Amino acid sequence: MNLREKVKSYIEENAISQSKFANLAGVNTGALSSWLGDKYKGNNEKVELPIANFFDKQGERSEQATIDGIAFAETGISKRVADTLNYCRTQNIIGCIYGDAGVGKTATTREWAKDKTDVIYITATVANCNPKPFFKKLAKELKTTRTGQLDDIYSEVVEKLATTSKTIIIDEAQHLVLKSLELVRSLNDETQTAIVLIGNDKVYSKLLGKQQAEFAQLFSRIGMKLCVLTDNFGAGDIKSVFTDRLEDDASKFILSIAKSKYGLRGAINVFINASNNGNTSKEGLQVIAASMGILA
């Protein structure tokens, strides 16, 4: 199979457009289209080199274990997170799920939300922590206006949510400034939309500042709170995630990582790197963990 045939096959098998492939490979869309039709008048090597590099990288990746190879598995923490999400969704309340990084809050929420058409999932960042950029992002998800003043955007969002039954998930919610959080609270007040704030302990600390008058209303609206910690992981959770891929002593070592500040995410990364190193015994895992600076 020559390079053109490989590109056409990849596009067909992955059900993507030529434009999408051009972006992945780092070539001009028009040049790619002409090149695929064997009509490109420019320097063909400049088109073919990044495409060849793309397939080389794909080949190397296919030979290595990746985090995608670890399928989502229910743990004690993920069940509690899912139960909290379900409760907030059915009761139309504001919830807060917070705690240690790497325990699976985001992975569980994405898994929970993937087949629910009434769920809007937004990640807060330092770029959209202020009210207007945050509500522009929300408006985009709701397909309402994203232009004008903040009050115009907010009003359109309220109008849309008042006529639907949505659940809004805000991940990394600790990034939101107070004014954004207050407007989020107002959404629940005005539309009874279920809203779940997810983040590290900073998001709850922010809300817990109830002795400050500006936080009092927001804190009082939190109808369900869930704290999840790495220390909550148990041996059964490791077995669920890694199935039968670990011997008992290796499993205990992985559990010790999961229960540390590195969490399940850190444990999975150690396992993936050890797999690619060809040794997932306890000793092999220890070598990789040490090289990553992870001390269980």
Q: What is the average per-residue pLDDT within 272-292? A: 93
Mean pLDDT of the region 107-130:
95
For residue 88, give the 3-state DSSP assignment.
Answer: helix
Tell me which fold the domain 97-226 belongs to: Rossmann fold (3.40.50)
Domain boundaries, the chain: 3-63, 97-226, 233-291
Which H/E stretch holds residue 193?
A: none
The b/e string for 201-240 (b: 16+ C-beta within 10 A; e otherwise) is: eebbebbeeeeeeebeebbebbbbbbebebebbeeebbbe
pTM: 0.76
Q: Decide which of 3.60.140.10, 1.10.260.40, 1.20.1300.10, 3.90.76.10 is the CATH code for 3-63.
A: 1.10.260.40
Q: Using one digit for the tens of pLDDT, what is the confidence trace for 133-184? A: 999 999 999 999 889 999 999 999 999 999 999 999 999 999 999 899 889 9
Residues 268 and 262: their CA atoms lie apart, in Å, by 10
The predicted-structure confidence for 56-115, as pLDDT tens digits, reads as follows 887 766 655 555 567 788 999 999 999 999 999 999 999 999 999 999 999 999 999 999
Task: Measure the CA–CA gap between 220 and 198, rounded to whole angstroms.
Answer: 17
pLDDT tens, residue by residue, 26-39: 999 999 999 999 89
Phi-psi region of 14 (alpha: psi -120 to 50; beta: other; left: phi over 0): alpha
